[in-house]
Amino acid sequence: TREQGGNHYQFYTYTMNDKILNSMVMETKMRAALENDEFILHYQPQVNVRKGKVVGMEALVRWDSPEDGLILPQDFIPLAEETGLIIPLGEWVLRTACSQNRAWQSAGYPPMDISVNLSARQFRQARLVDMVERVLRETGLDPRYLVLEITESVALQDVDFTVATLQSLRAMGIKIAMDDFGTGFSSLSYLKRLPIDILKIDRSFMRDVVHSPQDAAIVSTIISLAHNLNLKLIAEGVESEAQARFLEKKQCEEIQGYLFSKPLPLPEVEFFLRRFRL
């Protein structure tokens, strides 16, 4: 009947408005959160298994909301990206991560790399290179201890722009990592053109690498590709000894995953570093 149709329509517009309202509320909350220092970084260790050393930390942002508790990036990065809030948030992440890495070095820990994720909008922002240069100068971190991570899809949006931007960043001494490698369907010829230093093997390939001959073949292929192109490798999502042994046999030495540690809040990082040195 007409009445039912009407109700249905009303319900539909109501949920649509609700969704828009929701993301507006979220955006307002996120702006306030940035003002109120509610964002924090967790750090996940990257370990070289042959050397038995912590070689880096990936900075991973969380929103520590007094109302809602700890919120993971999947629940706010997409909206931050949509609204542009990722630009000030991303600069905060970079500054905090660089300054923290500098502080670890000053405290006498062996120098490590700090890895920071760049989303599409951050990578395309005007003056990205200037911003990074300024943050490095202000925090005093030596650029060779900074790694910027981008994904294949970000890199391939405009390859000429990507190549030029990466060249400027590398000219400062910064390293570039290709994150989630293998998931972006990128053609291998691009890999040759892109000035990158590190491939990060996506954790979707690691999950079944021990039992699935297909995944084992993919991971082995990525490893030989990296070796042949003289790129450093980091395997992500390594959770078991068996996965680590597989990687070691293939001469993939650097591992990031729950096997060694989940992403840690700051006080636990220092605990991890001290314990790991023993």
Q: Which residues of the shown chain bind ligand C2E in the complex (CB under 6 A)?
A: 44, 60-61, 72-74, 77, 90, 93, 117-119, 179-180, 203, 237-239, 256-258, 263
Could you say which of ligand C2E, Ca ion, none residue 152 binds, taking C-beta under 5 to 8 angstroms by partner kind? none
In the region spanning residues 11 to 40, those forming contacts with Ca ion, defined by CB under 5 A, are none
Query: Is the CB of 57 or the CB of 194 nearer to ligand C2E?
Result: 57
Range list of H helices, 110-212 = 120-124, 128-139, 152-156, 159-171, 188-193, 203-206
Residue 49 interacting partner from ligand C2E, Ca ion, none (CB closer than 5 to 8 Å by kind):
none
149 binds Ca ion (CB under 5 A): yes
Applying CB under 5 A, does 180 fall inside the site for Ca ion?
Answer: yes
Measured from the CB of residue 1, what is the shortest distance to ligand C2E in angstroms? 48
Distances (CA, A) of 80 to 26, 86, 216: 9, 5, 36
- Min separation Cβ 148 and Ca ion, Å: 10
Residue 217 makes CB contacts below 8 A (sequence gap 6+) with none
| Amino acid identity for residue 260 in this structure | F
219 binds, among Ca ion, ligand C2E, none (CB under 5 to 8 A by kind): none
Binding partner selected for residue 195 from Ca ion, ligand C2E, none, CB under the kind-specific 5 to 8 Å limit? none
Residues 115-134 that bind Ca ion (CB under 5 A): 117
Q: Residue 228, exposed/middle/buried by CB under 10 A (0-12, 13-18, 19+)?
A: exposed
The radius of gyration of the chain from alpha carbons, rounded to an integer in Å, stands at 21
Nearest to ligand C2E of 129, 180 (CB atom): 180
- Could you tell me how many residues of this chain bind Ca ion (CB under 5 A)? 5
Closest separation between CB of residue 237 and Ca ion, Å?
Answer: 8
Return the closest-CA partner of residue 226 out of 247, 256, 203, 257: 247
Site mask for Ca ion (CB under 5 A), range 227-246, x = bound: ---------x----------
Q: Hey, what's the torsion of the CAs at 236, 239, 240, 241, to 10 degrees?
A: 50
Under a CB-based contact definition with an 8 Å cutoff, are residues 226 and 199 in contact?
yes
Question: Rounded to the nearest whole angstrom, what is the least distance from the CB of residue 180 to Ca ion in the complex?
Answer: 4
Query: Which helix (H) or strand (E) covers residue 261, if one does?
Result: none
Taking the least distance from each CB to Ca ion, the nearer of 58 and 104 is 58
Minimum CB separation from ligand C2E for residue 18, in Å? 26
Q: What is the DSSP string of 12-75?
A: HHHHHHHHHHHHHHHHHHHHHHHHTT-EEEEEEEEEETTTTEEEEEEEEEEEEETTTEEE-GGG
Q: Pseudo-torsion of CA 177, 180, 183, 185, nearest 10°?
A: -10
Cα-Cα end-to-end distance for the chain: 75
Nearer to Ca ion, 113 or 180 (CB): 180
Residue 55 touches which of Ca ion, ligand C2E, none (Cβ within 5-8 Å per kind)? none
Q: Which residues bind Ca ion (CB under 5 A)?
A: 117, 149, 179-180, 236
